[in-house]
Structure 1
Amino acid sequence: MGQRFLPYLIWLLISSLYWVFCVADNRLHPDNRIFVNQTITSSGGIFALGFFSPGNSTENRYIGIWYNSIPEKTVVWVANREAPLVDASGVLTVMADGNIALIDGKGVLLWSSNLTGIPVNTSAVLLDSGNFVLRDSEENVLWESFNQPSDTYLPTMDISLNINTGKSIDLTAWKDPQDPSPGNFSFGLDRKSLLQLVVKEGSKILWRSQPWRARQAFVVGNFNTSDTLILSFSFTEKVLSLYTLDTSGRLNFSFLNPRGNSWSLMSSFPSNACDIYKPCGAFSFCKLEGSAHSCRCLEGFEPTNMKEWEVRNFSRGCLRKVPLRLNKKDEFLRYETMKLPDDFSIWWNRTAEQCMTGCLDDGQCTAYAIANFTGGDRIGSRCLVWSGELIDLVKAPNSGEDLYVRVASAQLAPTVAVVATLLMGASFFLLFRKRKSRKGK
């Protein structure tokens, strides 16, 4: 009996030694397992992957990725968000069918990469970027955690939207600090007005970014026929940094303070009253006044209801004093450094003149904005146009763009007349002084 059992003990010892070697690696090979008390680390030691229990919880366990060398455990990705492991006997492994899988002690599948028709000789690798990828024998990526993010955006990740299918890569906040299951807050590309990012509570927009104008906004293929629109953020490579969507729906940008080896909050959105979506009604803009805010009508507009306006109820916005003709006799007023309105359409690669005339020729266009893509090897421009009401306007001195609002030419006539009268008066005064001077001589 003992002699029969000896080969099994030798095999078990060899397997254990082999597994200790694998845990020190950044790769999970077929039929290897990560147990509850084990982790793998990326090659540079930046990230670790293993089991964790959130907050003060000790019952539920999740597979997650976190920064390996930071004392405060910062979990940046969770695999089994909706299916916690409730015992200590679960394992993470690469299955015979090639998928990464989390299995509990009873053999129940809790989570997997869920691919079909893939090679069986795959392996999973934790990269120094924080991306956990499944590769075939030729190192082709078959699946990656960056395409299924949790609540955190890391450098080199993409926020994307497949225009045809509607499939997107978004952040979703944890339900609460003890529960990493998907909450009601999300962050991603706006499906309605592309080239901008939104934080939403369910389907309700809470915060909206300025429309993208830098080279980090790019389209795969021709925009009108392509499948996917991708936005990427810029990060400072010298420091560790991340965006996190917290459980209250706030998007926080933090960087690692090397002195304290802890996270420092750089900025947060929404951060003030004007950041909240639609702080003012149509055709009015929000302007900060200290810690408070006020709404002001665009030039040529007046409050829809003055009594409501006087008690700081700005929700009904403003109305035009002079109706548009919606012909080529209309003019444009320029508003500098504005957060551009929501609900726009995009015309690609137009000059400023083409953007203006295009809006003027359109019987529905009420405003336009033009911007060139800047930086790197990205060239071209984007012309944004609006039809109907202008909403969610904010005066943004540090980040805004010029907005050209369509007005009736009659609206500008009084101003022109006043200027002309002043010029005529000045000319008459100078002429009068000149004649008087001659008489004096």
Structure 2
Amino acid sequence: MGGLYYSGVFSAFILISVFSLPAAKAASSFQLLPGKPLPDGATLVSSGGIFELGFFCPGNSANRYVGIWYHNFSTSTVLWVANRKSPVLDRSGSLAIADDGNLVVLDGQKAVLWSSKVTSLQSNRSTAELFDSGNLMLNNSGVMAWQSFDHPCDTYLPGMKVGLDLITNVNQVFTSWRSEDDPAPGNFSIGIAPDRSTQFFIWEGNKPWWRSGRWNGQVFIGIQNMVPNYIYGFRLNNFQQENKMYFYYSQFNSSHRYVLTPDGVERHLVWANDSKNWYQYWAQPFSTQCEIYNRCGNNATCTDSLDGNSPNCSCLKGFEFVGGNLSGGCVRRTPLLTKSGNTSYR
């Protein structure tokens, strides 16, 4: 996200193969209609042939999930998963429009494993469509009732928004997979800081893991080598008018994506047509230990070691390590004297 502005050259060749497709697939369309469920083995393909939706198995798992991947150039790259918490245990599953108008994933016994959970829909008036943006949209009586872009997983695509509702304070975040074999929500998430400070945070659970620094209208001030007016059109919306604060980047092409990995690294990946593989263009935190948030604790400085392993932590002047722990932060050697005559270590 902040890495949209990194000016370096391609680095770290990456090939990602995360799921297996059925050996044979039924004829595809881009819409799902009431009474016509999509069984395991059939797929939806967006009208321009860019994205595809169907069942897949991640990594070495035998579990089945409904996901969206690239149809035209990288069929082994999953971008979104519906039933990431509730897999189908065999190939008897289906994606369907339920009687109440919701989009559902069913197992072989027709039990609902996942639902779009929209209330007040008109029954038998829903259709679902996969668009060339990679967005799966549920329409009810001609009105959009739900879309996958509002419920992201680990991948950030052009047209998606990551942001904070300034009225409800609900934060729309991206969440890593638990592992390469399990798309269930993992330990890491990324989103806008809830204090409305126009910066991205990666959290490990509820603990800050990395931050981008504030947005100054052109770049994130905490990221080095960021180039203003980047070609992909990364922007902050007019949140004072919309009551929502979100970042987005414009549709350049479908070969760029950002993914939050199970180990808490945000990667900017670019598809190279010549080699038919993904290349890592940017990653954060990645190269040094000091990129990790508060790596040496409070009142301390962090200097990267030459071997790239444990950083060199040191206390600010007038402070000392807590209990000799080099990563536990620092406290004052001499307490401050307050006006009341009491001492304070603040």
1:315 aligned partner, one-letter code: G
* Distance change >3 Å, CA 56–CA 308, structure 1 → 2: closer
Matches of 2:239 and 2:271, distance apart in 1: 33
Structure 2 contact 318–333 (Cα < 8 Å) conserved: yes
CA RMSD of aligned residues (A): 3.2
Tell me the CA shift for residue 71 of structure 1: 4.8
The answer to whether structure 1 residue 107 and structure 2 residue 110 are counterparts is: yes
Which of 252, 257, 265 aligns to 2:280? It is 265
SS in 2 for 1:146: helix
2:36 aligned partner, one-letter code: N
Q: How many residues align?
A: 296
SS in 1 for 2:149: helix
Which of 311, 315, 318 aligns to 2:329? It is 315
SS in 1 for 2:72: coil
Which of 26, 29, 34 aligns to 1:30? It is 34
Which of 174, 190, 194 aligns to 1:187? It is 190
* Distance change >3 Å, CA 113–CA 267, structure 1 → 2: same
1:237 aligned partner, one-letter code: F
- Partner of 2:5 in structure 1? none
Which of 243, 257, 260 aligns to 1:245? It is 260
Which of 243, 247, 250 aligns to 1:231? It is 247
Matches of 1:205 and 1:128, distance apart in 2: 35
Matches of 1:202 and 1:307, distance apart in 2: 25
2:122 aligned partner, one-letter code: P
Per-residue CA deviation, residues 306-336 of structure 1 (Å, 9 max, x unaligned), is: 8999x9668217899x99xxxxxxxxxxxxx
Tell me the CA shift for residue 288 of structure 1: 4.9
- Please list, as runs of the form range in 1=range in 2, the aligned pairs for 1:132-281 lying within 5 A after superposition: 132-138=136-142, 140-192=143-195, 194-214=197-217, 216-222=235-241, 227-232=243-248, 234=249, 237-238=252-253, 240-271=255-286, 272-281=288-297
Per-residue CA deviation, residues 182-236 of structure 1 (Å, 9 max, x unaligned), is: 11211112213531111111111111112122361234344xxx6422122x468
| TM-score calculated relative to the size of structure 2 | 0.75
Q: Max radius of gyration: which structure?
A: 1
* Distance change >3 Å, CA 107–CA 267, structure 1 → 2: same
1:198 aligned partner, one-letter code: F
Tell me the CA shift for residue 303 of structure 1: 4.1
- Partner of 1:402 in structure 2? none
- Partner of 1:44 in structure 2? 48
Structure 2 contact 133–159 (Cα < 8 Å) conserved: yes
* Distance change >3 Å, CA 317–CA 260, structure 1 → 2: farther
Unaligned 5+ segments in structure 1 are 1-19, 324-388, 390-441
SS in 2 for 1:274: helix
Per-residue CA deviation, residues 228-264 of structure 1 (Å, 9 max, x unaligned), is: 22122x4682561111111111111111011111111
* Distance change >3 Å, CA 295–CA 176, structure 1 → 2: closer
Structure 2 contact 298–328 (Cα < 8 Å) conserved: no
- Partner of 1:127 in structure 2? 131
Matches of 1:107 and 1:166, distance apart in 2: 36
| TM-score calculated relative to the size of structure 1 | 0.60
Structure 2 contact 154–259 (Cα < 8 Å) conserved: yes
- Please list, as runs of the form range in 1=range in 2, the aligned pairs for 1:342-361 lying within 5 A after superposition: none
Structure 2 contact 43–53 (Cα < 8 Å) conserved: yes
SS in 1 for 2:292: coil
Structure 1 contact 283–319 (Cα < 8 Å) conserved: no
Structure 1 contact 288–294 (Cα < 8 Å) conserved: yes
- Partner of 1:55 in structure 2? 59
Percent identity of paired positions between Structure 1 and Structure 2: 33
When you count helix as a share of all residues, which structure comes out higher? Answer: 1
Unaligned 5+ segments in structure 2 are 1-25, 219-234, 338-345
- Partner of 1:364 in structure 2? none
Matches of 1:105 and 1:306, distance apart in 2: 59
- Partner of 2:8 in structure 1? none
Matches of 1:136 and 1:186, distance apart in 2: 31
Matches of 2:97 and 2:332, distance apart in 1: 61
